[in-house]
Structure 1
C-alpha cells in the first residue's frame, strides 16, 4: 500500500510540475502585433521535443531550457504573458536543374499577395546541413519578404557531389533565383540574393550570372581563401600578443602552404621547411591553426606528398579567387555586414576592399557590428581566450530585412554605418 501511495504522489507531482504542464511547442513562426517575431524550428543539436528559438532581436536558445523567454499554449506562443499568433506562410516545394544536377528548394511567402514584395534567395555557406526548415529563412520571411531556400548540391534533397567550387555554386544560385521568380510570378517586386559566410563569395558571383536587383552579404570575405588563412593566423598571433615577428612568420607559412595548394602539392616544400625550422623553437607554434596552414605545418613532407591533396584540396576550392574582380562587375546595390571581432573571417582586408569600391562610386553599403564573431554572434571570453556564443547581435536581422525591403531606418543595435574617407 505504501508503494501505491508513493507512486500516486509521484504522479501528482509530475502533473503539477511546470515542465510536465508545459505543452510541446510546434515548429513555426509566431508574431506580435507590433511586428516582433520568434521562429521555432527543429534542429539536430536540440533533443526532442525541444526546438530552436530565434527572436528578431537575436536572442536564441532551446524551448526546453528552464529560462526560455516564451511559453506554448493552445497553439500560440506567449511572451511575457502576451499571445503571439502563428504566421500562415505559403510554402511551395520546388525542384530545378542546374548544370545537370537536380536541386531541391522551398519558396516561403508571407500571407497575402503583394506585387511589390521583395524576393530573396538564401545562398548557403560551407555547411552541409539543409536550410529548409531552418530559422534563418523564416526570420527573413517574417519581415514581409518572400524567401527561396535550397539544398546545395550534394546535401539534403539535392543530388550531385558536395563542392566548394564558387563558379559551380554561383551557377546553382543563379538558377535558384530564376526558379524562384517563376514560382512567385506576379507576387514580387525586386529580387536578389543574400549570402552568409562562404555565400559572400558565391552570391555576388551569382548576380553576374542572372539579373539581380540587390545582393546582401553577412560576415563574408572580399579576399581569397589563401588570404583568409593568412588573416586567421595573424588574428591568432595578435590575440596572443605575440608581436610583429610572429605575424611575419605566419604570413610566410601561409605563402608556403598556398604554393603547395596552387601547385597541387608539387612545389613549396623548401619554403615550408624553412618556416617549420623557425617555428620549431616557438612555444606558441603548436596552437596556430589558420584555415589549414597550422595542420600542414605539423605534417611531414612525406605525409603532404601522400595525403595532402586528398585532405586539404578535395572540394574544388578556387584558392586564389579574385573576390574584388567579381564585385567590380556588379552594378546592383550591395549590402555587406561585418562582424567586428570575426576570428574565422577577419575583416581587415575585406573592409579595405569594400571601402575602396565605395570610394570608386560602387553602390555599396557597409555596416559593422562591434564585439561580434562569425555569424554575427555576441560572445563571452574565458580566461584561456575561448569564446562562448550567447546570441546573434541585436539589430542584425532587422537590418537585413529593412535593407532588402529598401526601407532602412536605423539605428540597428550597435551597428556602425561605415563611410568612405
Structure 2
C-alpha cells in the first residue's frame, strides 16, 4: 500500500502549486512565452477584409508606493481621433509582462476600442518589487485607469476591466472601488473569499492525489495547513508556528505522503503569497457589482473551476453573463486534450481561441457602445 502511495506522489507535489488559486498556481501566463507587441500590431481581418492593426504607444503610469508601471496603449486605427472606449487588460498570477492579450487586442481595435497592457510591478520595465499582493495589484489597476482618464483620446466613462485568472480577482476589486468603471470581464477568474477559498482548492487537489480520495485523510491534512496559514496571518509567535508546521507535516504524512514529500509540499504552501489569501474577496466583489459583467470559463480548465461560484455571486445582477466554452483549458487555447497547464506551450495563441475572442469582442463592443450597457443578456 505504501509503495503504491509513494508511486502516486512521485513528482506530483509540484501540483500543490495549483491548489492555491489565485495566489500560486494561476501563473500559466508566466510559463508561456508572451506574444510580442509587434504581433499585436499586425493587421486583423473582419468579413474577409483587411483591418489596420492598432497603433502602439508606450506609456508610464505612476502607482503606489513609488511604483511606475510600463505599459503599451493600443489605439484603434481607422476610427477617427477618439475619444475611444478602453479595455484595461489585467494579467493572471506570475511575473507577467505585456503580451498576453494579443488576439483580443486586435479584435477590439477593429471595433474602435483602445486597449492597455502593462508589465506587472517589478517585472519587465515596471519598477517596484514583484509580489502577488491583491491590494497592491488592485491599486496598480486603479492607477492605470486614472492615468487613462487624463487622456483626451480615451473616453473616461467607457472603460472596461478585463482580467484573466488571478486578474479576474483584481478586475472586480478595482471596479467595486470605482463607480465609473463601465464593465468587467473575467476569464477563468477565481471566485471566493479568504482562506476558506484557498482551503477549497487545496482539498480538491489533494483528493485527486491521495489514493482513494478519502476525506478522513485529506480533511485533517487540509485543515492543519489552513490552521498554519491563519497563524501566519495572525502573526503568531515562532513557537506556535513551529508546532503547527510539525502538525501539518504529520497530517500530510498520515494522508499518504512520504515524509520528505510531505515537508516539500508544505514548504510550497506555507509562503507569503498564500498567507495573503486572507485578503481575497472576489466573491463579495462580484456580488457587489451592478454593472455589466461577463465571466467565461473553459470545460477543460484544471486550475480554476469557479463557474458555479460566479453564477451564484452574479445571480442578482441582470446585466451579468456567465459562459462555459467547451473544450478549452485555463489559457483558452484551441486544441486542448487534457487541459493541463503543461499543454499551453504546445497550443495556439495564449487567450487566442477564436470563440473566446468573438464572445468577448462582441460583448465589449455592445457594452461599451454606451455606458448603460444596453441589451446585455442575463446570467446563464
Larger relative strand fraction: 1
How big is the shift at 1:260? 1.6
Give 1:294-309 correspondences, 5 Å limit: 297-299=262-264
**Aligned: 1:275 with 2:251:** yes
Q: CA deviation at 1:365?
A: 0.7
Does 2:292 match 1:323?
no
Are residues 256 and 295 of structure 1, via their aligned partners in 2, closer, same or farther at CA, if it must alter by over 3 Å? farther
CA contact (8 A) 1:357 1:364 kept: no
C-alpha displacement of 1:124: 1.4
Structure 1 residue 279, shift from structure 2 partner: 2.2
Q: Give me the whole-angstrom Cα distance separating, in 2, the residues matched to 1:328 and 1:395.
A: 27
Are 2:67 and 2:127, in contact at CA under 8 Å, matched by a contact in 1? Answer: yes
Bigger drift between 133-142 and 271-280 goes to 133-142
Identify which of 190, 214, 220 aligns with 1:252: 220
What's the offset of the Cα at 1:333? 1.2
Q: 1:396: how far off? A: 0.5
Residues 363, 138 of structure 1: CA spacing in aligned structure 2 closer, same or farther, 3 A cutoff? closer
CA distance in 2, matches of 1:230, 1:123: 24
User: What corresponds to 2:75 in structure 1?
Assistant: 109
Q: Distance in 2 between matches of 1:228 and 1:387?
A: 24
What is the Cα deviation at residue 381 of structure 1? 4.2
Matches of 2:379 and 2:105, distance apart in 1: 31
Q: Which has the higher contact order (CA 8 A, sep 6+)?
A: 2
Aligned to 1:34: 47
| Counterpart Cα distance in 1 of 2:101 and 2:367 | 25
Distance in 2, matches of 1:396 and 1:96, equals 29
Match 1:356 to one of 312, 333, 339: 312
Give the Cα separation in 2 of the matches to 1:103 and 1:251.
42
- TM-score, length basis structure 1: 0.64
Aligned residues of 1:118 and 1:404 also touching (Cα < 8 A): no
Aligned mates of 1:161, 1:149 — CA distance in 2: 18
SS at 2:314's partner residue?
A: helix
Residues 344, 374 of structure 1: 8 Å contact kept? yes
Unaligned regions of 5+ residues in structure 1, if any? 1-25, 37-83, 287-293, 409-416
Equivalence for 2:21: none
Decide whether aligned partners of structure 1 residues 91 and 394 sit closer, same or farther in structure 2, where only a CA change above 3 A counts. closer
Match of 1:206 in 2: 174
Between the aligned partners of 1:400 and 1:360, the Cα distance in structure 2 is 22
Kept after mapping to 1: 8 A contact 2:169/2:191: yes
How far apart are the structure 2 equivalents of 1:215 and 1:363?
A: 11
Q: How far apart are 1:108 and its partner, in Å?
A: 0.5
Matching of residue 399 in structure 1 with residue 356 in structure 2: no
Residue 101 of structure 1 contacts residue 159 of structure 1 at CA under 8 Å; is this kept in 2?
yes
Query: Which residue does 2:123 correspond to in 1?
Result: 155
Contact 2:329 2:336 in 1 (8 A): yes
Give the total of aligned pairs.
Answer: 316
- In structure 1, distance between residues paired with 2:281 and 2:170: 12
TM-score, normalising length: structure 2: 0.70
Do the aligned partners of 1:114 and 1:187 also contact (CA within 8 Å) in 2? no
Structure 2 CA distance for partners of 1:93 and 1:108, relative to 1, 3 Å = same
The 1:177/1:233 distance shift into structure 2, 3 A limit, reads same
1:230 and 1:250 in contact (8 A); partners too: no
Partner residue in 1 for 2:148: 180
What is the Cα deviation at residue 270 of structure 1? 5.8
| Structure whose CA Rg is larger | 1
- Residue deviations 1:155-198 (CA, integer Å, cap 9, x gap): 11111110111111111101101212323536676211000011
Structure 2 residue ranges without an equivalent (≥5): 1-37, 233-240, 369-376
**Cα deviation digits, residues 344-377 of structure 1 (max 9, x gap):** 22x1xx2232222333345321001123221123
Change (3 A) 1:35 1:331: farther
Q: How does 1:10-409 map to 2 (within 5 A)?
A: 27=39, 28-32=41-45, 34=47, 87-99=52-64, 100-111=66-77, 112-113=79-80, 115=82, 117-131=84-98, 135-136=102-103, 138-144=105-111, 145-185=113-153, 190-210=158-178, 211-224=180-193, 226=195, 227-228=197-198, 230-231=200-201, 234-235=204-205, 237-238=207-208, 243-245=212-214, 247=215, 249-264=217-232, 265=241, 268-269=244-245, 271-280=247-256, 285=257, 297-299=262-264, 312-313=271-272, 317-319=276-278, 321-345=280-304, 347=305, 350-361=306-317, 363-377=319-333, 378-381=335-338, 389-391=346-348, 392-406=352-366
Aligned 8 A contact 1:198 1:220 in 2: yes
